[in-house]
Amino acid sequence: MWHLEHETVAIDGGLLQFSRESVSRLQKREDLGFLKLAAREPLWTASEQRGRDLRRTCKSLVVLGMGGSSLGGRAVLQALGRPESTRELIFIDNVDSDRFWSWLKSRKDFDEVHWAIVSKSGNTIETLTMAEAADQYLRASGFKKLSANTTVISETDDNPLMRWARKEGVATLEIPKDVGGRFSVLSPVGMFPAAFYGLDIQKFRSGATWALGQDDLCARLVAHSLASFRREEWITLFWSYADGLREFGLWTQQLWAESLGKRVARDGKPAPRASTPIPAIGSSDQHSILQQVMEGARDKFVWFFRVGQSEEPGPVIEKNLFDCQALMQGKGMGQLFQAMAEATREALAQQSVQSLTLKTQRLDEESLGALFMLMQLTVGAVGEALDINAFDQPGVELGKTLAKRSLLGSAT
Q: What is the pLDDT of residue 188?
A: 98
Q: Determine the Cα–Cα distance for residues 206 and 367; give it in Å rounded to an integer.
A: 9
Is 293 exposed, middle or buried (CB count within 10 Å of its CB: 0-12, 13-18, 19+)? buried
Q: What is the pLDDT of residue 175?
A: 98
Domains of the chain: which residue ranges? 3-29+205-394, 33-200
* Cα–Cα separations (whole angstroms), residue 387 to 28, 31, 164, 285: 15, 16, 39, 34
DSSP for residue 238: E
Tens of pLDDT, residue by residue over 153-211, are 999 999 999 999 999 999 999 999 999 999 999 999 999 999 999 999 999 999 999 99
Whole-angstrom Cα distance, residue 8 to residue 30? 36
Tally of CA atoms within 13 A in the half-sphere of 205 that contains its CB: 21
> How many angstroms separate the CA atoms of 220 and 59, rounded?
44
| 65 CB-near residues (< 8 Å, 6+ apart) | 73, 91, 93, 116, 117, 118, 119, 124, 127, 153, 189
Between CA 337 and CA 312 the distance in angstroms is 9
Using alpha carbons, list the distances in angstroms from residue 22 to 38, 219, 239. 21, 8, 25
From residue 119, alpha-carbon distances to 269, 282, 321 in Å are: 32, 32, 52
CA distance 56 to 62: 16
Residue type present at position 90 = I
| Cα–Cα distance measured from residue 223 to residue 11, given in angstroms and rounded to the nearest whole number | 7
Taking the chain (412 residues) in runs of 10, the rounded mean pLDDT of each run is: 96 97 98 98 98 96 97 98 94 94 94 97 96 97 96 96 98 98 98 98 98 98 98 98 96 98 96 98 94 96 97 93 93 95 96 97 98 98 98 84 81 55
CATH 3.40.50.410 fits 33-200, yes or no: no
pLDDT at residue 161 in the model:
98
Question: How are strands ordered across the β-sheet holding 113-118?
Answer: 88-92, 60-64, 113-118, 150-154, 171-174
* Dihedral sign computed on CA atoms, order 137, 143, 146, 151: negative
Q: How much is the pLDDT for 411?
A: 59
Please indicate whether the domains covering 3-29+205-394 and 33-200 agree at the CATH topology level.
Answer: yes
pLDDT of residue 353: 97
CATH class of 3-29+205-394: alpha beta
pTM of the model: 0.95
- Residue-wise pLDDT tens digits, 252-302: 999 999 999 999 999 999 999 999 999 999 999 999 999 999 999 999 999
Q: How far apart are CA 227 and CA 125, in angstroms?
A: 39
pLDDT at position 142: 95
Bridging pattern class, strands 88-92 and 60-64: parallel
Q: What per-residue confidence (pLDDT) applies to 139? A: 96
Tell me, what's the pLDDT at 406?
A: 84
d(CA 292, CA 315): 34
